[in-house]
Structure 1
Amino acid sequence: MSEIIRKLRVAAYAVIIDDGRILLSRWLGPERPRWILPGGGIDHGEDPYDAVVREVFEETGYHAEVRRLLGIQNVRGPLNRDGEDLDYHRLRILYEAAVVGGELTYEVDGTTDQAAWFPLEEVPALDHVESVDVGLEMYRTRPLDGRIPRFT
């Protein structure tokens, strides 16, 4: 029996909505590509605010301006990655942001390969990760404590 390894990942993501559309990136996940909020891991010593601006640019080609902190999604659970059993704890810092420049481009040799705008009403039908739903719920409800009930 293999030892369970504890892993913590802290990341920052942007909810960018404009004219009834949301900006998403296509993540090249281990199972299949799925749509996610633009963002990603925070480098050691990096401010989450700076990380989300950097990640949006890397994944979409857009310059983003953070408008406000939406909240934090806390997810913990078992995960088997590359044969290793992980007790995987993810903290996702979610910001509301807006595009202030740049042009839509795709990340090359990264964890995403596309970015696109989608009408909000089309999001439920997209193959996407749960943090998209969490981010949209935080955007809509603006919880004072920065938390929403856990998605299952």
Structure 2
Amino acid sequence: MRRKLRVAAYAVCVRDGQILLARWIDRAGRAEWTLPGGGMEHGEDPHDTVLREVTEETGYRMEVTGLLGVRSHRLTFPRRFGRAVDHHGVGIVYEGRITGGELRYEVGGSTDMAAWHDLDAVPALVRVPLVDYGLGLWRERPATGRVTLPEA
């Protein structure tokens, strides 16, 4: 089985009762809302990753106002030629404040749009689990940097 580690950095940006989300398109063409952010490049600091990714996916510049926590998850899925992949994702979740720029959509990336959503409307969105995890960190601010979410 092939093993793959992916380290990424994400931002929870909340203002005026709304959260900034990016719409991610998976390989099958399905769209789901996610926190803006993405994978670290080799040698890149996670702090710099989240700043770069938020700008790429939303058009906004932001400042990091806090480290909320870390999400670690593993998935096993089949790949071509019957070889499975053991994927381990580590997501560093920051709190951010928008400082400039203008909302725009990413072109040629893994997301196709970005938008502000009312916090009370988030449960009705088609979204990745990271959104709930990030909001849990933002609401609870646990000293351990981890939250336990109810099973879906």
When normalised by structure 2's length, the TM-score is: 0.94
- CA contact under 8 A between 1:130 and 1:151: conserved in structure 2? no
The equivalent position to 1:80 in structure 2, one of 78, 81, 96, is 78
Runs (4+) off by over 6 Å: none
Q: Match for residue 24 of structure 1?
A: 21
The equivalent position to 2:64 in structure 1, one of 63, 66, 79, is 66
Q: Match for residue 134 of structure 2?
A: 135
Q: Match for residue 108 of structure 2?
A: 109
Q: Distance in 1 between the 2:80 and 2:113 partners?
A: 25
Q: Match for residue 39 of structure 1?
A: 37
Decide whether aligned partners of structure 1 residues 73 and 119 sit closer, same or farther in structure 2, where only a CA change above 3 A counts. same
Q: Match for residue 49 of structure 1?
A: 47
Q: Distance in 1 between the 2:78 and 2:132 partners?
A: 24
1:124 aligns with 2:123: yes
Residue 151 of structure 1 deviates from its aligned partner by 5.6
Q: Residue type matched to 1:61 in 2?
A: G
Q: Residue type matched to 1:8 in 2?
A: L
Q: Match for residue 12 of structure 2?
A: 15
C-alpha RMSD over aligned residues: 1.2
For structure 2, the residue ranges without an aligned partner over 5 or more in a row are none
- CA contact under 8 A between 1:75 and 1:90: conserved in structure 2? yes
When normalised by structure 1's length, the TM-score is: 0.94
3-state SS of 2:32 partner: strand
Q: Residue type matched to 2:145 in 1?
A: G
| 1:102-138 C-alpha deviation (Å, 9 max, x unpaired) | 0000100000010000000000000000000000000
Q: Distance in 1 between the 2:86 and 2:56 partners?
A: 29
| 1:46-75 C-alpha deviation (Å, 9 max, x unpaired) | 000000000000000000100000000010
Q: Residue type matched to 2:100 in 1?
A: G
3-state SS of 2:8 partner: strand
Q: Residue type matched to 1:104 in 2?
A: L
Question: Number of paired residues?
Answer: 149
Decide whether aligned partners of structure 1 residues 81 and 135 sit closer, same or farther in structure 2, where only a CA change above 3 A counts. farther
Decide whether aligned partners of structure 1 residues 99 and 77 sit closer, same or farther in structure 2, where only a CA change above 3 A counts. same
3-state SS of 1:143 partner: coil
Residue 77 of structure 1 deviates from its aligned partner by 2.2
Q: Residue type matched to 2:59 in 1?
A: G
Q: Distance in 1 between the 2:56 and 2:145 partners?
A: 26
